[in-house]
Amino acid sequence: MLRLPYQVVRGFKMSSVDQSMQLLRNQAYVNGQWVNAQSKAVYPVTNPADDKVITEVPDMDAHDTKAALDAAADAFKTWKKTTAKERSSILRKWYDICMKNSDYLAEIITAEAGKPLAESKGEIVYGSSFLEWFADTARHINGEVIPSPWPNKQIMVTRQPLGVVSIITPWNFPFAMITRKVSALMAAGCTCVIKPAEDTPLSALAAVQLAEEAGVPKGVINVVTASRKNAPNVGQVLCEDPQVGCISFTGSTHVGKILYGMAAKGVKRVSLELGGNAPFIVFPSADMDNALENAMLAKFRNNGQACVGANRFLVHEDVFNKFVTGLKEKIAQKCILGPGSKPGVTCGPLINTAQVNKITGLVDDAVSKGAKLMLGGKVASNIGNKFYESTLLTDVTPKMNIYKEEIFGPVVVCYKFKTEEEVLKIANSTRSGLASYVFTKDLGQAFRMSQELEFGMVGINSGMLSTTEAPFGGIKESGIGREGSKHGAEEYTDIKYTLFSALDK
Ligand code: SIN
């Protein structure tokens, strides 16, 4: 496919990888047009590995957001009338184009999010799988006809697209969190405005460029980019504008609650995928090699920056030493810290200084209160200012902040337990309820844990749950709604009941 030199990058010193970036865009996308902010304001997007500016993007505000919502509302009038087959075919084309451009998309993710190139490529495959899945699902959003209790009447139930969806996405999976939402809502017949994370707007813009090439009509997908300064105003319009039918957000529980509050004013539908505090439970019967392999996956995927990442390793006292020793060896062997674009690197930088400060604060607090540092424990300043060493802590107690908080970084925290009852109590003693992991060969125990763990997702003998076929989501303060699976598109529909009466007249 011929690529045009789209980007016009103003006088910045760019990191070397940027110059080859085929899908780099530096304008937002509204109503099928690549646009600047009405105010002409811009903000820089930097590479977390070296702090160099990749490019600048529009720093949009409430006015730009309103214009994007108007475009989405206008496009909804026609998109909702397309056939399921037409929507399916466009999603399928978008999938094919993303797969063809996976290397270009991956380099953008690595540049702005820092993750190793192999992980970025994995994210493209994962993220694109939602486009493929919802291309199929679009044709199976069925209604029902229910026998009525009255003669000569018929009850018909249909699922109708709910309208314009506001999408606010995080920086940790800047491509997949967009495709997971947009493919589902498009399949349902909705249109959207996306506000990508301040740190990672470029993956969103690249994805939308490919959507345009796939034939997504103007106004169906709009992207509004904004800095941290403008994000609250943009978010408010996205939640409160009367044209919006649903707010779909993936991110922190703190921000999710604010958005939920704003959505409540208009009694808007919400789809919230918020923070986790996943327990990773190892029983004595577990296959230890499998538990260790999966511990690495559950903790170090995206360097711990995942809401499904294992946060608390709860290990039975009989196998505690074996697990800790094994994990220490695996971390030392497999965690290779460095810029994501460097071959062989498996752990990239943290996304920004706030994350570095947070991880540093949590580890320092734990160590000052008696936690034992088995590995790591500081910023690897010989590589850069955002590279935190892969860290392993034991002897953690409830007095330490790290005991309660979502770490969202490369820090393994191991606790000892004695009984099934005790570990369930510890695991469930949180307001979070997203992912959980259990390692055991005892079938009855696996079943009991699946029943009793207060989490939306339970991985038995697996540290990886995410797949487009399964319903992804949490309970308690981890969210509302499900993404992926057959339920993902239903989130963006309203159920309509029509009573056909007087059928004998
Ligand atoms: C997340 O952890 O933020 C989502 C990751 C996933 O979809 O697996």
> Atom 8 of ligand 1 has which residue's CA nearest to it?
466
Please tell me whether residues 182 and 298 are part of one structural domain. Answer: no
Domains held by the chain: number = 2
CATH of the domain at 232: 3.40.605.10
How many CA atoms does the CB half-sphere of 184 hold within 13 Å?
Answer: 31
CATH of the domain at 386: 3.40.309.10
Please tell me whether residues 97 and 215 are part of one structural domain. Answer: yes
* Tens digit of each residue's pLDDT (9 = 90 or more) over 134-144: 999 999 999 99
Query: At residue 4, does pLDDT exceed 50?
Result: no
> Atom 5 of ligand 1 has which residue's CA nearest to it?
306
302 lines ligand 1 (CB under 6 A): no
Please tell me whether residues 49 and 108 are part of one structural domain. Answer: yes
What mean pLDDT is predicted for residues 315-328? 98
Query: At residue 15, does pLDDT exceed 60?
Result: no
Q: How confident is the model at residue 9 (pLDDT cuts 50, 70, 90)?
A: very low
- Distance between Cα 494 and ligand 1 center (Å): 26
> Atom 6 of ligand 1 has which residue's CA nearest to it?
466
Residues sharing a CB contact under 8 Å with residue 330, sequence separation 6 or more, in sequence order? 292, 293, 295, 296
In a domain, 18, yes or no: no
In a domain, 227, yes or no: yes
- Distance between Cα 216 and ligand 1 center (Å): 26
Instruction: Provide the percentage of residues in the chain whose pLDDT is more than 90.
Output: 95
Please tell me whether residues 132 and 165 are part of one structural domain. Answer: yes
Please tell me whether residues 301 and 406 are part of one structural domain. Answer: yes
Please tell me whether residues 365 and 400 are part of one structural domain. Answer: yes
466 lines ligand 1 (CB under 6 A): yes
- Distance between Cα 478 and ligand 1 center (Å): 12
172 lines ligand 1 (CB under 6 A): yes
Rounding to the nearest 10 degrees, give the CA dihedral for residues 102, 206, 233, 167: -50
Would you state the pLDDT for residue 325? Answer: 98
What mean pLDDT is predicted for residues 240-253? 98
Rg for the chain, CA atoms, rounded: 23
Cα separation, 397 vs 415, whole angstroms: 8
468 lines ligand 1 (CB under 6 A): no
Would you state the pLDDT for residue 182? Answer: 98
Q: What is the pTM of this model?
A: 0.95
Query: At residue 12, does pLDDT exceed 70?
Result: no
Query: At residue 16, does pLDDT exceed 60?
Result: no
For the beta carbon of residue 61, count every other beta carbon within 10 angstroms.
Answer: 20
307 lines ligand 1 (CB under 6 A): yes
Closest-CA residue to 175 (of 232, 117, 98): 98
Please tell me whether residues 254 and 230 are part of one structural domain. Answer: yes
Which ligand 1 atom lies nearest to the CA of residue 250? 3
Which ligand 1 atom lies nearest to the CA of residue 464? 8
Which ligand 1 atom lies nearest to the CA of residue 176? 7
Q: Residues of 481-500 as b/e, b for ≥16 C-beta within 10 angstroms? A: bbbbbebbbbbbbeeeeeee
In a domain, 129, yes or no: yes
> Atom 7 of ligand 1 has which residue's CA nearest to it?
466
Please tell me whether residues 266 and 288 are part of one structural domain. Answer: no
Cα separation, 117 vs 108, whole angstroms: 9
Query: At residue 263, does pLDDT exceed 70?
Result: yes
- Distance between Cα 151 and ligand 1 center (Å): 50
What mean pLDDT is predicted for residues 163-179? 98
Which residue of 109, 308, 464 sits with most ligand 1 atoms within 8 Å of its CB, as the best mutation to test the pocket? 308
Determine the distance from the C-alpha atom of residue 49 to the mean position of all C-alpha atoms in its chain, rounded to a whole number: 21
What mean pLDDT is predicted for residues 4-22? 44
Would you state the pLDDT for residue 17? Answer: 43
173 lines ligand 1 (CB under 6 A): yes
In a domain, 214, yes or no: yes
Instruction: Give catalytic residue positions.
Output: 273, 307
- Distance between Cα 307 and ligand 1 center (Å): 6
- Distance between Cα 302 and ligand 1 center (Å): 10
Q: How confident is the model at residue 7 (pLDDT cuts 50, 70, 90)?
A: very low
In a domain, 458, yes or no: yes
Which ligand 1 atom lies nearest to the CA of residue 170? 3
Would you state the pLDDT for residue 20? Answer: 67
DSSP designation for 344: T
Would you state the pLDDT for residue 364? Answer: 98
Give the β-pairing of 154-161 and 493-500: antiparallel
- Distance between Cα 33 and ligand 1 center (Å): 30
Please tell me whether residues 312 and 198 are part of one structural domain. Answer: no
Please tell me whether residues 350 and 295 are part of one structural domain. Answer: yes
Cα separation, 390 vs 328, whole angstroms: 10
In a domain, 103, yes or no: yes
Q: Which domain holds residue 106?
A: 27-273+480-494
- Least reliable range by pLDDT among 1-15, 252-266, 325-339, 386-400: 1-15
- Distance between Cα 173 and ligand 1 center (Å): 7
306 lines ligand 1 (CB under 6 A): yes
Query: At residue 25, does pLDDT exceed 70?
Result: yes
Which residue of 179, 299, 307 sits with most ligand 1 atoms within 8 Å of its CB, as the best mutation to test the pocket? 307
Which ligand 1 atom lies nearest to the CA of residue 172? 3
Which residue of 173, 203, 464 sits with most ligand 1 atoms within 8 Å of its CB, as the best mutation to test the pocket? 173
Q: Which residue has the tokens 């770490």?
A: 407
Please tell me whether residues 48 and 63 are part of one structural domain. Answer: yes
Which residue of 120, 172, 175 sits with most ligand 1 atoms within 8 Å of its CB, as the best mutation to test the pocket? 172
Would you state the pLDDT for residue 214? Answer: 98
- Distance between Cα 464 and ligand 1 center (Å): 10
Please tell me whether residues 416 and 338 are part of one structural domain. Answer: yes
In a domain, 205, yes or no: yes
In a domain, 499, yes or no: no
Distances (CA, A) of 112 to 4, 13, 69, 357: 21, 15, 26, 19
Instruction: Provide the percentage of residues in the chain whose pLDDT is more than 70.
Output: 96
Query: Please, what's the largest Cα pairwise distance for the chain?
Result: 84
Which ligand 1 atom lies nearest to the CA of residue 306? 2
